[in-house]
Amino acid sequence: MSDRNAMELFNARWAEGKFVCVGLDSDYEKLPPHLKKEPDFEEDAIVDFNAEIIEATKDIVCAYKPNSAFYEALGTCGISVLKRTVDFIHEKAPEVPLILDAKRADIGNTNNGYVKFAFDWLGADAITVHPYLGKEALKPFLDRADKMIIVLARTSNPGAGEFQDLTISSPVKPVNPVKPALDSAILYQVVAKQVSEVWNSNGNCAIVAGATYPEELGIIRQLVGDMPLLIPGIGKQGGDLEKAVKNGRNAKKQGMIINNSSGVLFASSGPDFALAARAVAQKMHDDITQFNQS
């Protein structure tokens, strides 16, 4: 078991005022052409791309977040790329936590396999999970007190409300009377409140709350107190960064993991891609700092 502690890593980054998360969704087809000159070396091209992005941004970011789908799509090559990328981060930026965006959930015994892959083999510090199967099934994740377990509540996609906005007729009653009561039993609110009050006994839970729904983001922040929030939806999805900061920050003006994927990665398709990525990440960092001061 690794001696890395996810919450300690995140707290250290937040204390330095760093809240930008770069999503390493490295699609081979979108890589700069000069990296794809050797078609038989697809794996090396993606690893080199990721490495240059990491080197260019490691002093700015709060975290890196590879989405497993982009790597799994390449088969064994992609899994190798993912492992080499994680190892590179641990070597070159050991103070930066890594989130595996895999959105896992299954029965408990199957989750043991996911846990071993994500944490013990790959070396991720955090993972995204679905809440649908309940706490009992997700126990293998939740028991890893050294890792951050990030639970989907209000996602950033346009169709998120199909289930997440449903009214629940038998809401989960608050466990902690200090926390605010729900004005209405909306599913995403019930999930957020249940995770914060029941699932978070190890202090290792976080919630996904999309920047594309700033009002719901603010409600989630109110419900979960100072618990960390992963906030996707900035960049091409159109989320408002200022609203994300002001609705997503906790009482310490911290607790935010604000993700931008393609907007950073593919800021340029030329040889200057890493410098362009840094410029976007730096602008995002500077804007967050400014918004967080008001």
Catalytically annotated residues: 103
Q: Which residues pair with 231 in a beta bridge?
A: 258
Q: Phi, psi (5° rounding) for residue 229?
A: -125, 130
Question: Closest Cα partner for 255 from 209, 290, 216, 212?
Answer: 209
CB 256 within 8 A of CB 231: yes
Q: Phi, psi (5° rounding) for residue 177?
A: -65, -15
Question: What CA–CA distances, in Å, run from 192 to 64, 209, 220, 241, 290?
Answer: 23, 9, 6, 22, 28
